[in-house]
Amino acid sequence: MFRTSAAVFAVCVGASAPLAAQDAERLFEALRLDDVVEVMRGEGIVAGEALEADLFPGRGGPLWDRVVRDIYDRSEMIEVVHDRFGKAIPEASVAPLIGFFESETGQRLVELEIAARRAMIDEAVEDAAAESARDATAARRDLIRDFIEANDLIEQNVTGALNSNLAFYRGLLDGEAPIGGLSQDQVIADVYASEPQVREDTVDWLEGYLTLAYAPVDDMALQQYLDLSRSDVGQDLNTAIFAAFDELYDDISYDLGRAAARFMSGQDL
């Protein structure tokens, strides 16, 4: 699970809330998607530092840091994810998913996923995780790769990364950044020319991340998770999670591009 608004539940107050809304809320909490958003925010703040170093070194400082933190507003992000997840998850799939993710095994898996993703914000941890993935037993490598395939994680994440990169460049163009007069067609071509490298990086990151996350889990528990992922309800969950996060990534990337354009061109801020 990689990549929710109070508005969708705003009319459902207290004990009068429809059961479907209450159950979707339980699932949201069991998956700890608010904590996933918090980790995503941490990743974004670190990425913002890299953007400054690449695009306008030494000209961002505390002001750029504040802009990035405002774009990655935790409350707004949780509201968006909450809303989109609640709308995307089929009602019939919620109960069996709650059964799994509120169980001891389900909660342990969620905790491990969040902890591993938080740890991998550190590049040294990411490198070590990639090395561990290469050194894992054949049985564990097969389970990890089957899990990646069952959840379509490579294609979903590659597509999401390319779309986010495109949104960032659209933000730069709309913000009139000094990027050598590149047209939108040229930007699109450049972004999609990066697909092979994005794919390679995605595979390495996913295998390292999942190897790190599930290292404390035995093969039986991981097989159980894989079986859930292959089921109809597991596929529904995967679709809903990507629906919840993908547009959010694109919106944030666009806003970062617009903001970076101002710093690159020296506009008044």
| Average pLDDT score over residue span 36-61 | 94
- Count the Cβ atoms, other than its own, within 10 Å of residue 54: 9
Which among 101, 146, 71 has a CA at the least distance from the CA of 240?
Answer: 101
Encode pLDDT of 166-179 as tens digits. 999 999 999 988 88
Q: Using 50, 70 and 90 to split pLDDT, how confident is the model at 42? A: very high
Encode pLDDT of 255-267 as tens digits. 999 999 999 987 6
The pLDDT value recorded for residue 181 is 74
pLDDT exceeds 90 at position 183: no
The number of helix segments (H) and strand segments (E) in the chain equals 14, 0
**What is the chain's alpha carbon radius of gyration, rounded to the nearest angstrom?**
20
Residue 61 is given by DSSP the state H
Encode pLDDT of 236-256 as tens digits. 999 999 999 988 999 999 999
Token output for 44: 């974004």
Q: Give percent of the chain with pLDDT exceeding 70.
A: 91
The pLDDT value recorded for residue 67 is 97
Distance CA 124, CA 130 (A): 10
Contacts of 106 (CB under 8 A, 6+ apart): 30, 100
Q: Give percent of the chain with pLDDT exceeding 90.
A: 83
The residue with greater pLDDT, 160 or 4, is 160
Distance CA 232, CA 230 (A): 7
Residue ranges covered by each domain of the chain: 6-11+20-265
